[in-house]
Structure 1
Amino acid sequence: MTRQPFTVNGREYRPPAEPVVVICVDGSEPAYHEQALAAGRMPWLAKASQDRLSNWPAHGAMPALTNPNNVSIATGRPPRDHGISGNYILDPDSGQEVLMNDKAFLRIPTIFGAANDAGYDVAVITAKDKLRRLLGAGLVESGPALDGSGGEAVPERRGICFSAEKADQATVADNGIGDVLDYVGRPLPAVYSADLSEFVLAAGVRLLADRRPDLLYLSLTDYIQHKHAPGTEVANDFYAMIDNYAGQLDALGAVVVITADHGMSGKSDPAGAPRVIYVEEEANRVLDGPEARVILPITDPYTVHHGALGSFASVYLPDGADPAVVGSALARIEGIQAVHTRADAADRYALPPDRIGDLVVLAEKGYALGRYPAWHDLGQLDAPLRSHGALGELNIPFLINRELTRPADLEQDIAEPACVHNYDAFWVATTGLTAGVDHAG
């Protein structure tokens, strides 16, 4: 069947000549693969660099967190358009923190759903289950088909989407595939382990070998990066594993893009103690009366390795409070890089204004942001704090196993220069590849 180009969210995606595989290495600042490469631990990448490889400076979307960036990759657009501004938001109707892990929060369709509608074969494999419902929108839906007995309607298979975390629970009806553990030939991995990411990659290689989907997205977890700095033995072992599977995907004839959702920074002092600014506590020192409410969008069900401490915070002020007064006080604190009003943050970082606070606070690379001390359980941390969320974690890798013309620089006012974003990945590997790429649109 001949595939036709399709358009979604203002971009045209042309049918690729080979399968396209995008790997999102969660938490992968460029130093990780650079140091592993220098240590001789990534032989495939070393050979690809000599033969054919495009290696461009890149940015993720803001905030530099997992959910917003994975959805940006999945939609080809920044959070301003797709609406996922963090893992958690403050629901204006209930006043409660709400986990944004359901497709109901999406404001635009995904590339994956649009590709399925256009007749492409699409598979999405995530490490953590929190992403599955967002990334799987449009892949496995209830359809009108009847079962063999002529009875009740059953779901119609429209692609594959499952998580390594709950691979043992995947079914054809809900995920487009069943018996995943037997299919991949690996046991169910622990959620806090490097094995979770390896399961995703092993499953991707198996799918590519026997099904050859047109588009394959493999999203890993940042468990290793939260605990181990670039160049350490454990980190190099992890990147050697990634290199092995990337080489297998390349050998199977795929266009392989390796990027990340965000980088990672150390946020502890020389003694190893977390260097934390408690934003809600600091804001309430300024206010006389009703208190501010801080939302830390890094918060998710997996807080063991970061204690809900990131470098991006939304501050919701009580009625009558002056944002300029509170913002000015916060900006004077050592370790605060910037404080923006809602309008300024939305404009500067392409964020949805209705899903961020009255103020947006960004920490310097070596600092973390919290609410107030009692809210965080730092007893779970078993290594010096490494985390992410703001400009210090914006720079990410963008590697593709094809020689292409470097795109024009984009959005240099945000941080260091970048020529492409992670959410350009599927466009570059389809339309951009056929056009030779002279911009990333």
Structure 2
Amino acid sequence: MNINNRNYPKQKQTIIGVCMDGTSYPYYEAAKDVMPNLQRFIKEGSVGMVKSVIPSFTNPNNMAIVTGVTPKVNGICGNFYWDTELQEEVMMNDPKYLKVPTILSELSKNNRKVAVVTAKDKLRKMLAHNLDGICFSAEFANQATLEENGIADVEQGLMGKERPGIYDPYISVYCIEAGAKLLKRQHFDVMYLTTTDFVQHKYAPGSPDANDFLSKIDFWLGELDKLGAIIGVTADHGMQAKTNPDGSPKVQFIEQLLDAQDIKTRVILPITDPYVVHHGALGGYGTLYLEDKSQLGAAKDYLLSLDGIEKVLTNAEAVEEYELPADRIGDLVVLADSSTTIGRTPDWHELDKVKEGLRSHGGEHCQEVPMIFNKKLNAEFSEKLASGNSRNFDLFHFLSNGFSN
């Protein structure tokens, strides 16, 4: 079946796409002694490194994965953006912002049984858009109904326990566990399971908390594997420490700094979402709108002079380089280096929530993520994965075409 100009033929086995939010390969390497199932996937299946879309944030990458195309095509280029028609800053979590259908919805309309579980409810509406199947969030599993989510009584009927809170590391484990329990209960052709990155924002690779979390994820990946599914595990982005030597957040408050240069701007930080405990709305990518367009050159030059600011692109340059939608990214796109974040003004951010050990993402340095399959890819797709040119949004194309049927 052709969806967004890519082919997704039906497989005899269940195909499961897993997005491990914020999980770069060093997490798995450091946890290899407590992740026997994933280590078996790596040894007996297939593994390679792929690139996420820029900005390396949750919504753009999840929607790229489930549409199989770039933000320029699907329209989703942040968790948050400036709506020029409404003249408002809005969450980009409404299906109206999607410019193309999802793979999940199109397959569900063509006799494929589809189930989706997301840790964060902010993704659910877009993942569920026009979907004829099951789609619920672990965050609001207690509110799931047949009418809205295709399933009711998730906590007791499916899981046998209450959901953890959104800032509990095990909300993501609950998400993968829900996928395994759904598949034990009935057959699905396609599943998508996508977690949250609270652990990765708080704990570095190899830390006891990160490894404990990943060991529990590994158990449920093993249960999915036992059920005979073809599993592909990737990520929406990586994660890096963004701190000064004293452990405080390393931030360039570019709206305040430009204002001091008499360059008036509206800075938009597309990492912004309801989960500010994770990151305080501080990431490695931002866009800005200039009041006076004639100051574009001056703004770009000034920003590039700042420590930690790595790239400043015009709208046209950003569209070309990162395949972004021109109507949703402003006049300039700003990217920070591996240890710096971009802010608006100190007062705008809840800095007390990230005063120690800030870890975040958004720029190119969090773009490389693993793609791991529990079974061996065929020669054509094994070569594609080994090339280093594949993207995380190729996940369902690999799952649908990369294995003998």
SS of the residue corresponding to residue 252 of structure 2 reads strand
Structure 2 residue 146 is the aligned partner of structure 1 residue 176: no
Deviation per CA, 1:130-189: give whole Å up to 9, x if none.
0000111111xxxxxxxxxxxxxxxxxx20000000000000011000000011112121
Equivalent residue, structure 1, for 2:320: 347
Aligned to 1:369: 342
Q: Percent identity?
A: 41
Give the Cα–Cα distance (whole angstroms) in 2 for the partners of residues 434 and 285 of structure 1. Answer: 61
Cross-structure match for 1:14:
9
Does residue 67 of structure 2 align to residue 75 of structure 1? Answer: yes
* 1:268-417 paired onto structure 2 within 5 Å: 268-287=243-262, 291-381=264-354, 383-404=356-377, 405=379, 406-408=382-384
- Aligned position for 2:403: 433
Deviation at 1:381, TM superposition (A): 2.3
**SS at 2:16's partner residue?**
strand
2:154 matched to 1:210?
A: no
Structure 2's unaligned 5+ residue stretches are: none
Do the aligned residues in 2 keep the contact of 1:21 with 1:254 (CA within 8 Å)?
yes
The one-letter amino acid paired with 2:229 is A
| Residue-pair matches, total | 401
Q: 1:341-400: CA deviations, max 9, x gaps?
A: 000001100110100010000000100110011111111226410001010110111000
* 3-state SS, counterpart of residue 433 of structure 1: coil
- Equivalent-residue separation in structure 1 for 2:233 and 2:296 (angstroms): 40
Give the C-alpha shift of residue 91 in structure 1.
Answer: 1.1
- The one-letter code sitting in structure 2 at the alignment partner of 1:247 is G
User: Equivalent residue for 2:39?
Assistant: 46
Task: Give deviations 1:315-347, integer Å, cap 9, x for gaps.
Answer: 100134331221011011110110000000011
**Deviation string, structure 1 residues 17-70 (Cα, Å, up to 9, x no partner):** 210111100001110011101xx11111223333x2111011111110000000
How far apart are residue 409 of structure 1 and its match? 7.3
Q: Looking at CA atoms only, which structure, 1 or 2, has the larger radius of gyration? A: 1
Q: In the alignment, which residue of structure 2 is the partner of 1:163?
A: 137
Partners in 2 of 1:357 and 1:407 — Cα distance? 38
Question: Residue type of the partner of 1:342?
Answer: N
Aligned mate of 2:204, from 229, 232, 239: 229
Contact 1:23–1:257 (Cα < 8 Å) also in 2: yes
Equivalent AA in structure 1 for residue 107 of structure 2:
A
For the residues of structure 2 that align with 1:409 and 1:318, how far apart are their CA atoms? 44
Measured in 1, the distance between the counterparts of 2:322 and 2:354 equals 30
Please report the TM-score for the alignment, with normalisation by the length of structure 1: 0.89
Structure 2 match to 1:147:
none
In the alignment, what sits opposite 2:99?
A: 107
Cα distance change of structure 1 residues 409 and 256 upon mapping to structure 2, 3 Å threshold: closer
1:165-220 deviation digits (Å, cap 9, x = unpaired): 00000000110000000111121210101121111111100111111210000000
Structure 2 residue aligned with 1:152: none
Gaps of 5+ in 1: 1-5, 140-157, 411-416, 436-441
2:57 aligns with: 65
Q: Is the 8 A contact 1:298 1:308 kept in 2?
A: yes
Q: TM-score, normalised by structure 2?
A: 0.96
1:137, 1:17 → 2: CA distance? 25
Q: Deviations over 1:206-260 (max 9, x none)?
A: 1111112100000000000000000111111111111111111011100011100
Moved more, 312-321 or 15-24: 312-321
